[in-house]
Structure 1
Amino acid sequence: MPRAAQLERVATKVPEITASFWVIKVLTTGVGETASDYLFHQFAPLVAISTGLIGLVSALIAQFRARRYIPWVYWSAAGMVSVFGTMVADVVHVGLGVPYLTLTIVYSLAVAVLFAAWYASERTLSIHTIVTRRRESFYWATVLATFALGTAVGDLTAKTMQLGFLASVGIFAVAIALPAIAHRALGLNAIAAFWLAYIVTRPLGASYADWFAGPTSDGGLGLGTGPVTLVGLVAIVAAVVYVTKRQVGVPEAAN
Structure 2
Amino acid sequence: MKKLPEITLAFWIMKIAATTLGETAGDLFSQTLRLGYFLSTVSLFAIFVVTLVVQLQSKRYHPIFYWTVILTTSMAGTTMSDFMNRDASARYLAKGTSALGWGPQGLGVGYPVGAAILLSLLVTVFLIWRATRLPFDINRISTYRGEALFWTAILISNTLGTSMGDFLSDSSGLGFLGGAVLITGVLAALAIATRVRWVPNVLIFWLAFVLTRPLGATAGDFFTKPVAKGGLGLGTYGTSLVLVAVLGSLMISSAAREKGRRASVVTPAAR
Q: Common fold, TM-score beyond 0.5?
A: yes
**Superposed counterparts of 1:49-128, under 5 Å:** 49-94=41-86, 95-128=106-139
Q: Distance in 1 between matches of 2:4 and 2:153?
A: 14
Q: Using the TM superposition, name which of 103-112 and 44-53 deviates more.
A: 44-53
Q: Distance in 2 between matches of 1:52 and 1:118?
A: 26
Task: State the partner residue of 1:5.
Answer: none
- 5+ residue gaps, structure 2, are 87-105, 263-271
Post-superposition, which runs of at least 4 consecutive aligned residues in structure 1 deviate over 3 A? 248-251
User: Structure 2: which amino acid aligns with 1:38?
Assistant: L
- 5+ residue gaps, structure 1, are 1-10
Cα distance, 1:49 vs. partner? 2.5
- Quick check: 1:150 aligned with 2:161? yes
Classify the secondary structure of the residue corresponding to 1:52: helix
Task: State the partner residue of 2:17.
Answer: 27
Is contact 2:23–2:221 with CA below 8 Å preserved after alignment?
Answer: yes
Tell me which of 218, 224, 239 is aligned to 2:229: 218
Cα distance, 1:248 vs. partner? 8.2
Tell me which of 189, 203, 210 is aligned to 2:214: 203
User: Structure 2: which amino acid aligns with 1:83?
Assistant: M
Task: State the partner residue of 2:89.
Answer: none
Task: State the partner residue of 2:30.
Answer: 40
Task: State the partner residue of 1:184.
Answer: 195
Q: Using the TM superposition, name which of 28-37 and 97-106 deviates more.
A: 97-106
Is contact 1:14–1:249 with CA below 8 Å preserved after alignment?
Answer: no
Count of residue correspondences: 242
Cα distance, 1:65 vs. partner? 1.1
Is contact 1:14–1:250 with CA below 8 Å preserved after alignment?
Answer: no
State, as a whole percentage, how many aligned pairs show the same letter.
33
Distance 1:191 1:249, change over 3 A: farther
Task: State the partner residue of 1:130.
Answer: 141
Query: 1 or 2 for the larger relative contact order (CA 8 Å, sep ≥6)?
Result: 1
Cα distance, 1:123 vs. partner? 4.5
Classify the secondary structure of the residue corresponding to 1:247: helix
Q: Distance in 1 between matches of 2:131 and 2:260?
A: 27
Cα distance, 1:186 vs. partner? 5.5
Is contact 2:26–2:76 with CA below 8 Å preserved after alignment?
Answer: yes
Classify the secondary structure of the residue corresponding to 1:184: coil
Aligned CA RMSD, in angstroms, stands at: 1.8
User: Structure 2: which amino acid aligns with 1:54?
Assistant: A
Is contact 2:135–2:146 with CA below 8 Å preserved after alignment?
Answer: no
Q: Using the TM superposition, name which of 36-45 and 139-148 deviates more.
A: 36-45
Q: Using the TM superposition, name which of 195-204 and 177-186 deviates more.
A: 177-186
Cα distance, 1:50 vs. partner? 3.1
Task: State the partner residue of 2:102.
Answer: none
Q: Distance in 2 between matches of 1:250 and 1:142?
A: 28
State the TM-score, normalized to the length of structure 1.
0.90
User: Structure 1: which amino acid aligns with 2:5?
Assistant: P
State the TM-score, normalized to the length of structure 2.
0.85
Cα distance, 1:250 vs. partner? 7.7
Is contact 1:215–1:222 with CA below 8 Å preserved after alignment?
Answer: yes
Q: Distance in 2 between matches of 1:117 and 1:32?
A: 27
User: Structure 2: which amino acid aligns with 1:80?
Assistant: T
